[in-house]
Amino acid sequence: MALRTRTPEAPSHFWDVMIKLGTVFAFGLLVACLAIPLRPKLAEYRALDEQGKVLEQRKTALLRDIQRGEAELQMLDRDPLFVEMKARDTLDMCQPGDVIFRFEDGGDAD
């Protein structure tokens, strides 16, 4: 009697598909497990990003104020007429013969 040896059969198409689906499912589960703890950090990042944009706008406004102040300082150092104009404006004074126009807020205009 001759012994028959079995040749290994090729894996079926069904199991190939199941292994691939299992791998995809396991990878998706791994990504979800890693992403869930990061969700609060993403919200915090967005809040910090928004705060950074607000601070950047504030910085730009402050730099503009500094440049304006430096320009005014240079004018005060170099231009006596500017010093006189600034003093008159600040002290609310005028010389004889000057015509002053004052505009006041009229409040509620009905």
* Structural domain total, the chain: 1
Range of the domain at 44: 19-91
Instruction: Look at residue 62 and tell me if it is in a domain.
Output: yes
**Letter for the amino acid at 75?**
M
Instruction: Look at residue 97 and tell me if it is in a domain.
Output: no
Give me 16's structure tokens: 């190939």
State the pTM of this model: 0.50
How far is residue 60 CA from its own chain's centroid?
A: 13
pLDDT confidence bin for 107, thresholds 50/70/90:
low
User: Residue 106 pLDDT > 90, yes or no?
Assistant: no
pLDDT tens profile 3-48: 566 555 655 788 888 899 999 999 999 988 888 888 888 889 999 9
Instruction: Look at residue 104 and tell me if it is in a domain.
Output: no
Alpha-helical segments (H) within the chain: 13-78, 80-91
Instruction: Look at residue 35 and tell me if it is in a domain.
Output: yes
User: Residue 69 pLDDT > 80, yes or no?
Assistant: yes
User: Residue 98 pLDDT > 60, yes or no?
Assistant: yes
Instruction: Look at residue 82 and tell me if it is in a domain.
Output: yes
Instruction: Look at residue 108 and tell me if it is in a domain.
Output: no
